[in-house]
Amino acid sequence: MSLAGRKVLLLKAQTYMNLSGEAVRLIVTAQKFDPSKLIVIHDDLDLAEGRVRIKVGGGHGGHKGVASVADCLDSENFVRVRLGIGRPPGGVDPTEFVLTAFDEHDEHDEQSKKDLIQDGLQAVRLIVSHGVERAQNVLHSKYKASIPAG
């Protein structure tokens, strides 16, 4: 498939999330792919619901799927598109919350879900077409503009 005139390979690991690095390693090795060109899209409990952030490298922030990718590639030098799902409601275990189907999160209205997915897609398009830094500037400034002053 191509995106912004560039060849891209979209993957959805069929392993458990906590083991997704194994699937990523197989593809990276077979395709002789530079891990720094990898874009991992994942949910993020510590990011406000509906927000999207782009990050390069660094720790896994407690996300076991991201940790698995970093461990299996022996590198944290890949791009992450973080999709904010916010913290679970009171009394709900965080593990249970992230393993529940997105459609079952009662507090998410349909438009919010669509907006989050569209912003995630925009982030990937911007990264592929203009690079990470430009994508960060465009996407992150969108959220800064939406924060009221004061």
Domain count across the chain: 1
What's this model's pTM, rounded to 2 decimal places? 0.85
Domain assignment of residue 150, yes or no? no
Q: Is the pLDDT of residue 87 over 80?
A: yes
Residue 123 lies in a domain: yes
Q: Is 53 helix (H, G, I), strand (E, B) or coil?
A: strand
C-alpha 103/C-alpha 100 separation (Å) is: 8
Is the pLDDT reported for residue 70 higher than 90?
A: yes
Q: pLDDT-derived band of residue 103, with 50, 70 and 90 as boundaries?
A: low
* CATH assignment at residue 33: 3.40.50.1470
Expressed as residue numbers, the domain containing 102 is 2-145
- How many CB atoms within 10 Å of residue 114? 10
C-alpha 59/C-alpha 45 separation (Å) is 15
Helix (H, G, I), strand (E, B) or coil at 69: helix
